[in-house]
Structure formats: structure tokens, C-alpha cells
Structure 1
Amino acid sequence: MMRKADAADQPLVAGILAQSFSDNLSVNYVTAGTDQQLRRSALMNYAVKVCSLFGEVLISEDAHACALLLYPEQKKTTFLSLLLDLELVWNCTGISKALAVMKREKAIHSLQLSGHNAYLWFIGVNPLFQHKGIGSRLLSEVIAYCEKQHRTVILETSTLKNIPWYKSFGFQTYATLDLGYKLFFLKKEFSATVSKF
């Protein structure tokens, strides 16, 4: 069973994601440079804090897997969100790369679906516990959770081997973007006759 992470869980969640996304092309683009591991940790800390403000941070009961959901209609510019953005530039991208990352994010955002969505920003499993079905259980729970809220689940992945896994849960590719590597945009929609809970 998953639960909502609390403030004490945030370092654990960021650590799981930093480890499980070490080979991800999209993450590595943003975190490229010296001290890439520290930059990746800074990116994941940023994502956890943003989802704490404008979405949800979910963690498996055994604390081996986690997911970050962002609700786009809730995301807004606040003093705290601006501070987080500055912290990301300082600790992750650096000023010299910030403009390129912003241009990339604008291109990604232009292809994201609008509407009542749950953006599955990251889902990851501690590498010591991968390939044991933990991630699949968590994704099933995330999907059920979003279905109860009548939210389409959207995500992107640059990891080709993950696409069949997502498709096995009913996700469909709806767009691709060439960023020097291919980024795939996927969605999981629910029928209009979803029962209300």
C-alpha cells in the first residue's frame, strides 16, 4: 500500500529517485557537469518540494518506492516557488545552462496535455529492490488513485525499455520530441463512466 509522504520522508524520496534515475537521458541532460550525482540529488529535492506544494509525494509502505504527482492546474508562481527555482539553478543547472534547460522545458510543456491531469513526474524504486514487482504495485496504486480523482495520468520517458512497461498498464504514446534523444509522451485516460467514490 502507498501513503502520502510527510516532510520527514522527503530526503528518502529524493534519494530513491536520485539513485533510480542515474542512467536517465533526460535527467542527465539537466544535471550534466561536474558533481553530477550532487546535481541529480538537487534536481530530485527540487521535484519533491514542488510536488509537495502543487501535487503529492507518494511512497510505498515499505519505503522502497515512490512517485511524484504534479497537478498542473494547481501550479502557480509564488515567492516560495521562485526561491525553489533559484535554488535549482544554483545547485543543479548552473546559470550557464539555465536558459537551455528553460527552452527545453518550454518545448516539453507545449506537448503536455491540458485538462484535469496528474503529471507523473517521477516514479522510482530503490535499486536494491528493483525487479521485485514493487514499482508495478506502486504504479497500479497511483493509477487507481488518479482514477478516483478523474485525472488523466500523463508522463514523459526517455527510457525505451520503460515504454512497454507503461503500455502494459494501459498508457498510450501520444507525442514524441527530439531533444538529441527521443522523449516519449504517454497518457492513461479513463472512461467517462468512471464510478464515483
Structure 2
Amino acid sequence: MKKASRKDKPLVLDILSQSFHDNQSVNYIIRQDKNKTERIRQLMSYSFEICTSFGEVFLSDDEKASALVVYPEKKRTTLHSTLLDLQLVFGAVGFGNIVKTLKREKLIHSIQPQERMTYLWFIGVDPLAQQKGIGGRLLQEVIAHSNADNRNVLLETSMPRNIPWYEKHGFKQYGELDLGHRLYFFRRDVER
């Protein structure tokens, strides 16, 4: 695993945009129209920038998988983050989805524990490289990185097929939310 740089951004956006094209949670907030693919890319661009500022962006060594993590206690409102929020609204979410998106975020934060953590926002593998263990290796490296920094790893998934995969990697479900689709909350505590 390596830390992604600014020059890696197009590659990271390609991987994550393709990986999350049919994701229920992503499509819940993205305006659904003929520009859906570009809107998902804009969401991933926003997420890349937020993680660059308040977390980390990782690539697998073979550059076929990427993970975006945020350290919530480092996140703060800045001029840059406010501009990114506006770009997200105009480019991806749309005005019609603002209230729904803000409500969703408030509900998520009400379930998430308020603790020092690694929040695994997105992890994805190039669709042509899936089912080869690449994502699992990257996830294990993110876990090891978090363990070294004494951080639990938390995440959500809206894809029931991903639940056994997270459980296989030591995650335990701690919550669930109904948004018209199910959002499952998982955590993996630091190994001591």
C-alpha cells in the first residue's frame, strides 16, 4: 500500500467511480439523470479532496484498488472545505437532494460513536481486477496502518453482498439504518 499523491487523483477517481456506480448509498445522494456517471466522479473528487485534507488516500501497490479514509477529529470547516461542499452540491448532489443528504449525514453521525477512529469512507477495486484478493490485501493494510496509530476502523455499507467480506476481515456490525435502503454500520477494534 502506498499513499496516493495529487498526480494519482485521476486513477483513484477512475477506480472508485467504477466501483461505486451501482452502490445504493452513493446513488441515494447523487442526482439521478443522464450525467450520473460524471456526478459519481464528482462525489469521488470531493471525497479525495476531503481525505487529502483530513485523512489519507491509499492505493494498492499494483494501483488496482484505492481506499479513502478520514480522521473525523481532524475534520474542520475551512474556506477550502466550504468551496468543496458547494462544488458537491452543484456538481453531484443537486439542490433537490440537499435536505435528504443533510438528513442522512445527521442520522449517520447519530449512530457513529464519537471516538478517535479511522473512518473508511470508500474502498474499491478496478472492476477488471476484482475477485483476485487485491481489495482484501488493501483492507488488511488499512487495518494494520490504523492499528499502528491506535485507531478503530469504522465504515458503512449499503451492499448486503459486502457484509460477509467485511466480517471475514474481522469487522462486526454495530448498527443499521433504513433510508429506503439498508445502511449497515461496521467496526473493527484495534488489535492490541
Question: Cα deviation per residue 1:19-75 (whole Å; 9 max; x = unaligned)?
Answer: 001111000111132111111000000001000000000001111001001000000
Q: 1:26 aligned to 2:25?
A: yes
Structure 1 Cα separation of the partners of residues 179 and 91 of structure 2: 23
Structure 2 Cα separation of the partners of residues 113 and 15 of structure 1: 31
Residue 16 of structure 1: how far off its partner (Å): 0.5
Structure 1 Cα separation of the partners of residues 102 and 190 of structure 2: 32
Runs of 5+ in structure 1 lacking a partner? none
Q: Which moved more, 1:27-36 or 1:174-183?
A: 27-36
Specify the SS of the correspondent of 2:62: coil
Q: 1:113 aligned to 2:113?
A: yes
Task: Indicate conservation of the 8 Å contact 2:29/2:100, yes or no.
Answer: no
- How large is the RMSD of aligned CA atoms in angstroms? 0.8
1:15 partner letter: D
2:101 partner letter: V
Q: Which moved more, 1:106-115 or 1:117-126?
A: 106-115
Partner of 1:100: 100
Structure 2 Cα separation of the partners of residues 106 and 24 of structure 1: 20
Q: Which moved more, 1:7-16 or 1:78-87?
A: 7-16
Structure 2 Cα separation of the partners of residues 105 and 116 of structure 1: 18
1:82 partner letter: T
Runs of 5+ in structure 2 lacking a partner? none
Partner of 1:79: 79
Task: Indicate conservation of the 8 Å contact 2:118/2:153, yes or no.
Answer: yes
Specify the SS of the correspondent of 1:8: helix
Partner of 2:39: 39
2:9 partner letter: Q
Task: Indicate conservation of the 8 Å contact 1:117/1:154, yes or no.
Answer: yes
Question: Cα deviation per residue 1:108-156 (whole Å; 9 max; x = unaligned)?
Answer: 1111121110000000000010001100110011101100000000000
Structure 1 Cα separation of the partners of residues 57 and 190 of structure 2: 22
Task: Indicate conservation of the 8 Å contact 1:13/1:59, yes or no.
Answer: yes
Task: Indicate conservation of the 8 Å contact 1:172/1:187, yes or no.
Answer: yes
After TM superposition, the runs of 4+ consecutive aligned structure 1 residues lying more than 3 A away are none
TM-score under structure 1 length normalisation:
0.95
Specify the SS of the correspondent of 1:161: helix
Q: How many residues align?
A: 191
